Amino acid sequence: MRNYNLANGWKVPMNRPAILMAVVVMLAGFVGGCAAVDQDSAQTALASGRLDEAAADIQAALAHDPDNLQLKHLAARIFTRRGVKYYQQGAMIAASDDFHRAVDYYPTYAMAYDYLGMIAFQQHNWQDAIRYGSQAAGLQGKPDPGYVRMAREQLRKLQSGGFGRYGQARSRPNYSY
């Protein structure tokens, strides 16, 4: 075992495992510091509406600290907000991708499920509209939104034969000549 002189004049006994542990602690502090810097950048970008920048920053933070629940929650907020922007612009594929990212990071983020339900409803995907809308309502402790009730009605009609494949009412053949 060797003694190492520190800058303050102290002599510290060190062996290889102790040196390795010191290096690991230093690296962990550096990696944690990077995540904190990226998190701060993401929050600043989110607050000023720079959503693409916020998304890049939060993904960088999560690359340094992938198990941090606070970062995951921030990621869900960022991707949901950017998804709402895409939704309002009519870019449903991009919106859906961001809402799915949000719930991948934070599986109880109700707002993202609600938007996924509304997108499914617009696409006449009644089963997903019901599933996502009910999930959102359950997470918020609220009753199912109106689009879920309408989707259930549409699904019942579809299953009973009241509608054709794409939601149009079936016409009966006219056999009177």
Residue 69, Cβ neighbours under 10 Å: how many?
9
Count Cα neighbours of 116 within 13 Å in the Cβ-side half-sphere: 27
- Quote the percentage of the chain above a pLDDT of 70: 72
Q: pLDDT band for position 173 (50/70/90)? A: very low
pTM, to two decimals: 0.72
Average pLDDT, the chain: 84
Grade residue 4 by pLDDT with cuts at 50, 70 and 90. Answer: low
Q: Which residue has the higher pLDDT, 129 or 17?
A: 129
Average pLDDT of span 142-149? 97
Residues 107/72, Cβ–Cβ less than 8 Å: no
Cβ neighbours, 10 Å, residue 68 = 17
Is pLDDT of 75 > 90?
yes
DSSP letter for 144, please: P
Which of 145, 78, 142, 84 lies closest to 106, judged by CA? 78
- pLDDT, mean of residues 27-51: 80
Q: Collect contacts of 102-105 with beta carbons under 8 A, ≥24 apart.
A: 102/75, 102/76, 102/77, 103/76, 105/62, 105/72, 105/73, 105/75, 105/76, 105/79
Helix axes 51-64, 16-47, angle to 10 degrees: 170
